[in-house]
Amino acid sequence: MEDRLIERLKSKFIHLMKYWSIQLNLLMVTALLFSSCSKQVYLFTSFNEPATEGLRYLYSYDGYKWEDAGKIFLKPEMGVQKVMRDPSIAQGPDGVYHLVWTSSWRGDKGFGYASSKDLIHWSPQKMINVMQHEPETVNVWAPEVLYDQQTKQFIIIWASAIPNRFPKGTEEDNNNQRMYYTCTKDFVTFTETKLFMDPGFSVIDAVIVPRKADDYVLVLKDNTRANRNLKVAFSKAALGPYTGVSAPFSGGLTEGPSVVKIGNQWLIYYDAYGEKRYAAYRTADFHSFTDVSAEISIPNGHKHGTIFKSSAKVLKGLMAEAQGSK
């Protein structure tokens, strides 16, 4: 009788242990799945020369070591040349991603645009003709889009040359670039195009970097032939005015800055095209800069776009799409 009771208790104990073991495993799997979906990753919009293929992504878990996602995700259809250069992306408060890009070297009065909810499936492409009112416009280069939390709108800036508009200086009129901007909340209606920055020299490839509500940095390229290097300027508002243009922090023949915050530091990636390499500086204050090019890894052929934070779930979708297309 006693032995039978002991056996019955043993059986219940074993059954109970199996039950809790299953529950613990389920909790662990759930935690792993949640961690996988919520883990932060970095994505980098990209293109390869001659820019006719379309949108690529790089991805990174630490912001330093990058891999190619392995697929063209959007082929350009807009513009005279139908290229996709300088792809810039921003996510709105509704989760929708908005992509803008340079659609031609010359001849266009605007830039390409498309939107997506998952970075894979894109809306029909269209031209945003922001310089249509300026018939002498030579180009619309490197549109950069930012969702400004303070004004609750998207800001798009780009470089254009309008002959005889500004003092010639050392530049030919067809390359005497200035920065312009427009704003939108829905990419259907846009504010009137206005001059964004005239620093007194040809300027392109500007990127707005929000630090705090009243603290913005502009990383820009001095495009004059004698310089062609990167500088910074500062403002209390996203739309400027930006003042205190710095001395160059990069060498010559550099362009396309892309900025990302990692911890308490900022990384400024850029194309050192004169040396045929990709490079990066690290800074805490945009006054002193440390060359960290030896610490980064970038796939060959990568050309500049926007770096933004996303989740492992989004990356998993991109990788599955890339594998499925092979």
Q: What is the DSSP annotation of 67-115? A: EE-SS--B----SSS---EEEEEEE-TTS-EEEEEE--SSS-SSEEEEE
Residue 10: its pLDDT value, please? 58
Spans of all domains in the chain: 1-38, 43-324
Question: For helices 2-38 and 312-324, what crossing angle results, to 10°?
Answer: 80
How far from chain centre, in Å, is Cα 228?
22
Residue 168: its pLDDT value, please? 83
Residue 154: its pLDDT value, please? 98
CATH topology of domain 43-324: Tachylectin-2; Chain A (2.115.10)
The structure tokens listed for 60 are 């990174």
Residue 27: its pLDDT value, please? 40
Half-sphere exposure of 304 (CA within 13 A, CB side): 25
Instruction: Extract the residue ranges of the chain whose pLDDT is less than 70.
Output: 1-38
Question: What does pTM read for this prediction?
Answer: 0.88
